Chain A
Amino acid sequence: MTTETLLWLIPLPPILAFFLIVLFTYRSKSLSHTIAVGAAILSFIGSMLVLFRAVQIEHFGEHPFTTAPYHWFPTGTSWFKIGLLVDPLTVVSLFFVAWTVLMIFIYSVGYHNFGQPKGDHDRAGLPPHGATVRDVHGRAQRVPSVEPMYSRFFAFIGLFAFGMYLLVLSDNLLTLFVGWEIMGLCSYLLIGFWYGKPSARAAMIKAFLTTRVGDVFMLLGIAYLYANTGTLNFREILYNPQTLAMLAGTPSYIVGLSAASLIGILLFIGTIGKSAQWPLHVWLPDAMEGPTPVSAMIHAATMVSAGVYMVIRMYPLMSAGLEAGHGLTPPMTFMAFIGAFTALFAATIAVAQNDIKRVLAYSTISQLGYMVAALGIGGFVAAAFHLVTHAFFKALLFLGSGSVIHGMEHGVLHTGDHQIDPQDMTNMGGLRKKMPVTFWTFLIGGLALAGFPLVTAGFWSKDEILADSWAHAPLVFVVLALAALMTAFYTMRQITLTFLGESRTKEADHAVESKWTMTLPLVILAVFAIGLGWVGIPREFPLIGGIVPNWFHDFVSGTLLEHPAALKFSWVPLLTSLVVSLGGLALGYITYRAARLGEKDPVEHRLGASLYRWLKNKYYFDELYQKIFVAPAFWLAETFTSSWMDQKVIDGILHWFAYISGVIGNFLRNAIDKPIVNGSADLVGEGAKKLGGTFKTIQTGRVQQYMILALVSLAVFSVFLFYLVRVR
């Protein structure tokens, strides 16, 4: 098969799966998941084939795979052309997307309790509540029940995967945006998958609208870029020094910013929304309302990665006009600030969360901040590297937490105490013995997140970001190092509370390990959470550097026109990285190893109640936004626009016109018409009355007869007029 055909075939299977399930197979659960997982496998195979072909080509960045342009729609005298592009950045993105998507698809089969009986009171739109079965002795037993909207779930994640493949493979910004928005829709549908819950319903809308804030800015950026360059094709813009120089040299509508800078900033605001950066971060933690595979999908494989992917892709534009020794371009400064701030800000919130998934949610925001900050200071390769490794270990952590929740739900079904929140870490403890596979894989993922030295992938990618920031922006370095310390701390807090020590509730006592469909993906992802780092070990790294080539750097830097050079080695970031990672982990373990149910969180002791409350309540951003944005906007919509402006003012003026006309009409009738005109016309009137008496038979009050009459008269008049005209 030619590579070109292969490229087209990668995004196709998931969208076909979506339509097949929605239109035909939705009744059959097994058929639906077979189609969806089969589609994921096909896309996976396609992606891997592309990967193998790509790595065999030398200087792949200069000779990427492309497809013949498809003429999408006409624009004046020419056409808007679209196609697919695979360059080194696409290859590594395809790699993590294909793996994580496939793992998540397989995991979903087990997560939604395939093979379990139907629930007793389950209803579409609500999570399954469990079913009662009788064992051989006739004793009733509560077991998990299958998800009532099982097929629909697979249709949606199929569409989701299609959106991501489309985004990654696009050779232009417009179809990238199409994939971007399709994912927005899917995240909306899946966060609110259990739409019967008011909290899920609120979360789905919040997610869609918050990201839409970013999207409308991004749309402007796209329009701006298109207007100034006449194209949206990546290679024509980003690999064309003349175009970039032209954009960097054109002043924009805002004084002091070049067109390239303004476009870059507009596009980056799209990423702020999509990748949940401060101040548009509020939707991501609430997105936990969706089923856990969705969280993994959003946090690792697709949605938020897409935001970072886009800015990495647009990096040449962001850095257009960058000259050595002249500081960063405005979009880069903006990114460095937002990214670094978000990394630290989200990490502080994560420390005070008790919900196992929420901790991970804030850690995602924080890690995305790393990538954004890295890109802001020019660490193109480092950002891409962290994007890839993070996708694996974060998918692993989310799927692991789903497994934990599943185990806990089992315990809840067993004891029947539905007051116990199976997601609250304070209710857990000691799960390592009950769920060994989940424990070990979760531990690996956690260590990777914390950047545990040398063995984990997260260490290598995070270390590269720290090294980059040390070399270019020491202030960013300090912030990121602080955030790394907190990351290690809250990760260990999570592991300790969940798996270590003794179980704190009866439910945790009765937790059981999940099925193979759930644990197998965990094991596979764990392999990558460790091994993936080895493709990017810096050449000058003490002792082990240079044993394996720094393949990732060499390969991915080929994406850029000017290949970034590898950094000079420095001990400062390395030692910092070691200290914060190990120190944070140790601190986390010491603080929480003896945690008991009902006790105050040790952090609360240290920080004081009020600061802790701020962290626990996420600095009250939700409440603040509700007060300063949502409530005034709704007032503007309902009270101001709808009731006041339209109904009172505009309609009021219209009614006033009507009223005045009525008054004039009445005056004419009563003061002039009746006494003067009628008086003199009575005579005529009497005559007309007789005539009217004759004609009133046709006044039947039936519209159809009037219409016929009208048509007939029209015809007669036309003939008459026609005759007149001819005679003349």
Chain B
Amino acid sequence: MELILNNLLTLILFTPVLAALVVMILPEDQEKLIRWVAFVLSFIPLALSLVLWMSFNPGQPGFQFEQKVFWYSAINSSYHVGVDGISLTMVLLTTLLTPLAILASFTIKERIKTYMALFFLLEMGMLGVFLMLDLLLFFVFWEFGLVPMYFLINQWGSEKGEREIWGGRKVPARIYASFKFMIYTMAGSLGLLLAIQMIGVVSGTFDIPELFARWTALDGTLFGMSTGTVKAIAFWAFAIAFAIKVPIWPFHTWLPDAHTEAPTAGSMILAGVLLKLGAYGFLRLVLPLYPVESRTYAGALGFLAVMAIIFGALASWGQRDFKRLVAYSSVNHMGFVVLGIAAAAYTLGVESEPLALSANLALNGAVLQMFNHGLSAAGMFFLVGVIYERTHTRDLQEYGGLFPLIPVYGGVLIFTSMASLGLPGLNGFISEFLVVRGSWPIFTLYTALAMIGLFFTGAYILKAIKEVLQGPLNEHWAGHITEINARELLVIVPLMVLMLWIGVTPAWILNVINHAVAMWF
């Protein structure tokens, strides 16, 4: 037990790799065995994260469960892990969604072994980003997560569909989507890598807690420019990399493609966790490392957030493809995360009691919204997958009136949609309310404009429910469509329970987030 507690974060981070190796040595033709072994093994990181959650002390400032081993002492980079309330929430989200995603992947028929192994590697990549307190290793894991996801979309993505690029050339949609996802994110990472290198060279360390003090205090001239200019350039390198990942409008167009073409479980993780990496980057690195620049450009960030909220909702409403509709809803919801972050950024360094409280609430809301969106987006993508496996279409106009045929699925879909819509009593409301409340005194106009997006959230959610479940029955499906089965219920019910739980009594999770937020900002 002592051994486990002392190395808890390392265990959480690398047990997925172990799981991947175990899955790899299983015989290829034992499909059932592979699935179940993968499913069972995926509970190890979850169990460890629950131990972590229980033994975590929210009231203690700074990082906990830290471990630091020199990794590359020539450049002063070390394997340094640690969690605070923000990363802890994200770790829990990741380890929680992975078993569910694996269970949702039981219908995968081709190359299951590789598929499952990739999934575990993906989990490790994401966990690494949340756990690392070393800038260089942060980047390594940041990039690492891309690779499994690329293959998941590229190899196991939807088989139908084409995308036209220039000159009438057509490419298969999943190739297009995976390529766009990979290249776009990599393009953003280039600047990030350069900026990280520069910070490392200038500060002489990659250790994030150390940098919080050293890098921000840096003054004078660098490379013949004032530190202000250098920092502003580095700030934008960071901001753009994370903005693409979140994604913030107008860097969002990879998202509907990638989400739509990815296999169901891939979309669940993509929307559930991968998008949070970007927002997490803002919280963990951008705000603490660049307080001055964050404040300067917070208005711009807030503006882009509102654009994401409004146009994400509008674009979602305009879709005919069920999965694309859900994909665009992520743009809309992540906009609230960014709005909260922008509001907090604007108050950095401002000594004002009421503004500090507002910033605190906005950040609480933003982090909780990250978690909540993880639940509801994963749930929604899963439900799209469930109906797709039965009908082999994602075109909303080909469904119609399915409620009497699949009442349980219908109920589950309405419940999950309502959580996504932010219905009070369910989780999304708490976080959206906190963001709105927090950003109102700081970005009054933006907050007011965000309400347009909130209104259209209702429009697209109801559109989806209407096209799928209500109206005259499309007789084509009568007798051909089956009710959601036990395995599928097992995937969605934990998510639903959490949505209701957080909606009714949010204190257990908000308390952890609030302490972390209060100590940082």
Contact = CB atoms under 8 A, between A and B. Distances in A.
B455 A195 contact: no
A646 to B, nearest CB: 6
Given A181-B424, A704-B113, A74 B510 contact: yes
Interface stretch (A221-229, A288-296, A304-312): A221-229
B117 A704 contact: yes
Nearest to A725: B73
Contacts of A196: 401, 404, 470-473
A656 B167 CA distance: 11
B284 interface: no
A216 B436 CA distance: 11
Interface string B478-521: 00000000000000000000000000011100110010001000
Interface string A631-643: 0011011111111
A721 B462 contact: no
Interface stretch (A201-209, A275-283, A552-560): A201-209
Interface stretch (B47-55, B100-108, B311-319): B311-319
A548 interface: no
A645 B318 CA distance: 12
B447 interface: yes
B349 interface: no
A72 B424 contact: no
B88 to A, nearest CB: 16
A716 to B, nearest CB: 16
Interface string A171-182: 000100110111
Interface string A209-224: 1001100110110111
Contacts of A220: 436, 440, 447-448, 451
A574 B330 CA distance: 59
Contacts of B518: 76-77
Given A74-B510, A182-B424, A637-B317, A201 B166 contact: no
Contacts of A188: 462
Contacts of B227: none
A185 interface: yes
A223 B360 contact: no
Contact of A174 (B314, B433, B440, B470): B433
B360 A73 contact: no
Nearest to A652: B166
Interface in A393-437: none
Given A216-B454, A219-B433, A721 B72 contact: yes
A286 to B, nearest CB: 14
B135 interface: no
B458 interface: yes
A217 to B, nearest CB: 7
B199 interface: no
B9 interface: no
Interface in B422-471: 423-425, 429-430, 433, 436-437, 440-441, 444, 447-448, 451, 454-456, 458-459, 462-463, 466, 469-471
B214 interface: no
Given A74-B511, A198-B472, A253-B444, A227 B165 contact: no
A75 B113 contact: no
Interface in A207-259: 208-209, 212-213, 216-217, 219-220, 222-224, 226-227, 230, 253
Given A216-B451, A219-B436, A641-B318, A201 B466 contact: yes
Contacts of B155: 703
Contacts of B74: 725, 728
A433 to B, nearest CB: 39
A219 B448 CA distance: 10
Nearest to B328: A642
Most buried by A among B440, B454, B470, B510: B470
Contacts of A212: 455, 458
A561 interface: no
B75 to A, nearest CB: 10
B161 to A, nearest CB: 14
Given A219-B454, A704-B24, A73 B507 contact: yes
A210 B372 CA distance: 26
Contact of B437 (A124, A198, A223): A223
B297 interface: no
B204 interface: no
Contacts of B401: 125, 195-196
B358 interface: yes
B448 A637 contact: no
A174 B514 CA distance: 19
Contact of A227 (B407, B437, B471): B437
B401 to A, nearest CB: 6
Contacts, number: 179
A651 B318 CA distance: 17
Contacts of A189: 414
A75 B180 contact: no
A126 to B, nearest CB: 9
B477 interface: no
Contacts of B411: 22
A73 B506 contact: yes
A541 interface: no
Interface string B146-183: 00000100010000000001100000000000001001
A658 interface: yes
A216 B421 CA distance: 12
Interface in A607-661: 633-634, 636-643, 645-647, 650-651, 654-656, 658-659
A22 B436 CA distance: 33
B139 interface: no
B470 A192 contact: yes
Contact of B430 (A73, A224, A646, A658): A73
A371 B472 CA distance: 39
B437 A659 contact: no
B253 A178 contact: no
A636 B437 CA distance: 28
Most chain B CB atoms below 10 A, which of A195, A230, A639: A195
B357 interface: yes
A656 B314 CA distance: 25
Nearest to B154: A703
A74 B403 CA distance: 40
B404 A125 contact: yes
A181 B360 contact: no
B38 interface: no
Contacts of A77: 518
A123 interface: yes
A708 interface: yes
B391 interface: no
A674 interface: no
B318 A638 contact: yes
A16 B184 CA distance: 50
A703 B318 contact: no
20 contacts: A76-B360, A181-B425, A185-B418, A195-B469, A196-B401, A196-B471, A196-B472, A205-B462, A205-B463, A208-B458, A219-B436, A220-B436, A227-B440, A633-B456, A633-B459, A656-B166, A658-B165, A658-B166, A703-B155, A708-B24
Given A123-B473, A219-B454, A655-B166, 5 more contacts: A75-B361, A75-B364, A195-B470, A209-B459, A220-B440
Interface of B: 24, 70, 72-74, 111, 113-114, 117-118, 121, 151, 155, 165-166, 180, 183-184, 250, 252-253, 256, 311, 314-315, 317-319, 354, 356-358, 360-361, 364, 401, 403-404, 407, 411, 414, 418, 423-425, 429-430, 433, 436-437, 440-441, 444, 447-448, 451, 454-456, 458-459, 462-463, 466, 469-473, 505-507, 510-511, 514, 518
List 5 A-B pairs, minimum CB-CB distance, nearest first. A638-B318, A642-B318, A637-B318, A178-B424, A195-B470
Interface of A: 22, 71-77, 123-125, 174, 177-178, 180-182, 185, 188-189, 192, 195-196, 198, 201, 204-205, 208-209, 212-213, 216-217, 219-220, 222-224, 226-227, 230, 253, 633-634, 636-643, 645-647, 650-651, 654-656, 658-659, 703-704, 707-708, 721, 725, 728
